[in-house]
Amino acid sequence: MSADPLRSVLYVPGDKPRAIEKARTLRADAVILDLEDAVAPEHKDAARANVRAALTIRWACPVLVRVNGLGTPWEHADREMALLAGVDGLVLPKVEDARTVRELHLRVPLWPMIETPLGVLRAPEIAATPGVAGLLVGANDLARALRTRPHPGRLPLLPALSAVVLAARAYGKLPLDAVFNDVRDPAGFARECEQGRTLGFAGKTVIHPDQVEPANTAFGVTDAEADAARSLLAAWEQARTEGKSVAVWRGGLVEQMHADEAREVLDLWQTTRPEPR
């Protein structure tokens, strides 16, 4: 699954059947059916039953389940249900070391959440663990643990965010940015998406249907960007036919690295072009 574009990954509370059905109609690149923080303890069993039922019906996108953490009363039932139901991956909350991930011995892609200081410090070894498809940032818990103050530009969290991106990219895994809490602030959400993409995140986790399309746009490829990539590749290929090692495009030098990047841009553009559902 990690090879698929994951521009928007929508959290849906497992105890909200109507929200689960709504999620089927959206264009999120993936959905996380949540059994953990979004579900109160007295609703855990009902949420698990809802998620089991939801997984019996085919989805248009990959579906992950965020299970309750190790040491909770619900961990074993959550994982057993998700695995038997054929989930596309498991989201593991508050992972702080690679050993706990390795010892699960699960046969589905794993998505550890990095949401504590120790998790950030050990992100490289977590990302390197076999079976891990990517890392998700849990910024709310991380900010609380770090005792940071709220900041519109996430300044106190930038070192940790970059550390997660670095760890994931170093081992060929996908880094996914944290949720944006204020669903009434689309401008702020757009700014945070732009920041996340600039930092190197592959996509963003979202908590509201209205955030899906803006995330797809922010982490996707515009037609203009695709046209620029085609133009760069044309210049590169022309230079190579002439026996040159580099090309000049829009005043800059183009090497193999730039051509490879342009092909990646075109692949993402082609893969994520909207199609009727």
Annotated binding site for Mg(2+): 115, 141
Token digits of residue 256: 């193999």
Per-chain mean pLDDT for the chain: 95
Count of structural domains within the chain: 2
In this structure, the answer to whether residues 243 and 199 fall within a common structural domain is no
Q: Is residue 17 very low, low, confident or very high in pLDDT (cuts 50, 70, 90)?
A: very high
Tens of pLDDT along 166-187? 999 999 999 999 999 999 999 9
The pLDDT, as a whole number, for residue 1 is: 42
The answer as to whether 276 is a domain residue is no
Q: Is residue 272 very low, low, confident or very high in pLDDT (cuts 50, 70, 90)?
A: confident
In this structure, the answer to whether residues 197 and 267 fall within a common structural domain is no
The answer as to whether 2 is a domain residue is no
The pLDDT, as a whole number, for residue 2 is: 44
Q: For residue 141, what is the DSSP state?
A: H
Asked if the model's pLDDT at residue 274 lies above 90, the reply is no
Q: Is 246 left (phi over 0), alpha (psi -120 to 50) or beta?
A: beta
Annotated binding site for substrate: 66, 115
Q: Which domain holds residue 202?
A: 8-218
The answer as to whether 166 is a domain residue is yes
In this structure, the answer to whether residues 96 and 232 fall within a common structural domain is no
In this structure, the answer to whether residues 182 and 63 fall within a common structural domain is yes
Pairing mode of beta strands 174-177, 203-206: parallel
Asked if the model's pLDDT at residue 200 lies above 60, the reply is yes
Nearest to 8 by CA among 266, 197, 276: 197
Annotated binding site: 66, 115, 141
Q: Average pLDDT, stretch 233-246?
A: 95
Tens of pLDDT along 60-76? 999 999 999 999 999 99
The answer as to whether 277 is a domain residue is no
Task: Report yes or no: 142 and 186 within 8 Å, Cβ to Cβ.
Answer: no
State the Cα–Cα distance between residues 174 and 126, nearest whole angstrom. Answer: 13
